[in-house]
């Protein structure tokens, strides 16, 4: 049972090993990459192909190109790609190699050690004027009354045509040519209370083509009345806070004063309600009454009290 399983595994392993390595006249040959395809968007050109699979082996690929000039005048000359001779991934960014708006032929082959496949050539020649141009991403911001635009960076081939206008009937459309950078670009100083709309598209001089327009974005500039109301509100708020703060400070002061120097209240019996003259005249009458009665000093004192 176990031996049968081992035998089956061995047969399968040998079969798998032989699949990619076809033997031609007894010599092992590496299959050429298949399904070469070019994807080009916004002047970025990527060549892809189906990978050559050899179990437990790393395949390397080499990409070469031939411009229209070479095809016409020096057809035996193929130029190795800048970044993909060799490469391990089944794709190649050949943007840097495609430098002119002419047709290019591209080919790929696989290598494994001393084994080299045949060249696989892209079925249709590629011209960068067939690149897909997408509408640019943009961000509209306001810095006070300055209308600013930030555009996505698509590389050195691109210029941006920015169209902007005041959103009102009969308004004139302005256009500005922009090269994107790190900072937003100033478009215009706008009037308060008005709405402004912006749209943009790219232009690639090398191929003489524009992209479609981006979605139109509109912003409404805040009017002068609103800042005034905000300022008023801010002032009232400030005054209220000031009053509360002062009251708090006064209250705290009072609390501190009471805690360290408390005021002592006299009981009612010790409180003097009559005037001092009356009190003195009252005491004099009491003293005479006491003397007349012949009381002793202690009794006198008790009587007086």
Chain residues in the site for another protein (CB under 8 A): 67-70, 72-74, 77, 79-80, 82, 97, 99-102, 159, 161, 175, 177, 203, 205-208, 210
Smallest gap from residue 103 Cβ to another protein (A): 9
Identify which of residues 120 and 128 has a Cβ nearer to another protein in the complex: 128
Identify which of residues 68 and 217 has a Cβ nearer to another protein in the complex: 68
Identify which of residues 65 and 196 has a Cβ nearer to another protein in the complex: 65
DSSP per-residue string spanning the chain: -HHHHHHHHHHHHHHHHHTTSEEETTEEEPPPPEEEEEEEETTEEEEEEEPPP-TT---EEEEEEEEHHHHHH-TT--EE-SS-SSBSSSEEE-TTT--SSSEEEEEEEEEETTEEPPPEE-SS-EEGGGPBPPPPPEEEEEETTEEEEEE----TTEEEEEEEEESSTTPPPEEEEE---SSPEEEEE--TT-EEEEEEEEEETTTTEE-PPPPPEEEE---SHHHHHHHHHHHHHHHHHHHHHHHHHHHHHHHHHHHHSPPPPPPGGG---S-HHHHHHHHHHHHHHHHHHT--HHHHHHHH-
Identify which of residues 52 and 106 has a Cβ nearer to another protein in the complex: 106
Smallest gap from residue 180 Cβ to another protein (A): 15
Smallest gap from residue 80 Cβ to another protein (A): 5
Smallest gap from residue 208 Cβ to another protein (A): 5
Smallest gap from residue 97 Cβ to another protein (A): 7
Identify which of residues 194 and 207 has a Cβ nearer to another protein in the complex: 207
């Amino acid at each position: 049972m176990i031996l049968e399983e081992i035998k089956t595994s061995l047969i399968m392993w040998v079969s798998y090993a032989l699949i990619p390595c076809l033997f031609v006249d007894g010599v092992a040959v590496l299959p050429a990459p298949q399904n070469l395809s070019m994807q080009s968007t916004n002047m970025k050109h990527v060549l892809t192909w189906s990978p050559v699979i050899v179990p437990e082996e790393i395949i390397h690929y080499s990409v070469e190109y031939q411009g229209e000039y070479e095809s016409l005048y020096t057809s035996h000359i193929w130029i190795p790609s800048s970044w993909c001779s060799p490469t391990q991934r089944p794709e190649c960014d050949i943007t840097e190699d495609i430098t002119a708006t002419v047709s290019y032929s591209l080919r790929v082959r696989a290598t494994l050690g001393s084994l080299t496949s045949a060249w696989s050539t892209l079925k249709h020649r590629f011209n960068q004027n067939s690149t897909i141009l997408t509408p640019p991403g943009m961000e509209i911001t306001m810095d006070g009354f300055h209308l600013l635009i930030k555009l996505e960076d698509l590389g050195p081939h691109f210029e941006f045509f920015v169209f902007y206008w005041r959103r009102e009937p009969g308004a004139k459309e302005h256009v500005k040519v922009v090269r994107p950078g790190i900072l937003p670009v100033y478009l215009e100083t706008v009037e308060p209370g008005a709405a402004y709309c912006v749209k943009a598209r790219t232009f690639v001089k090398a191929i003489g083509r524009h992209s479609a327009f981006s979605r139109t974005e509109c912003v409404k500039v805040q009017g002068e009345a609103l800042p005034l109301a905000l300022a008023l509100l801010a002032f009232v708020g400030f005054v209220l806070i000031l009053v509360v703060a002062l009251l708090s400070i006064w209250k705290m002061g009072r609390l501190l004063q009471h805690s360290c120097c408390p005021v002592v209240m006299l009981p009612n019996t010790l409180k003097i309600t009559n005037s001092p003259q009356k009190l003195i005249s009252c005491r004099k009458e009491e003293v005479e009454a006491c003397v007349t009665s012949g009381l002793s000093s202690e009794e006198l004192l008790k009587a007086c009290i």
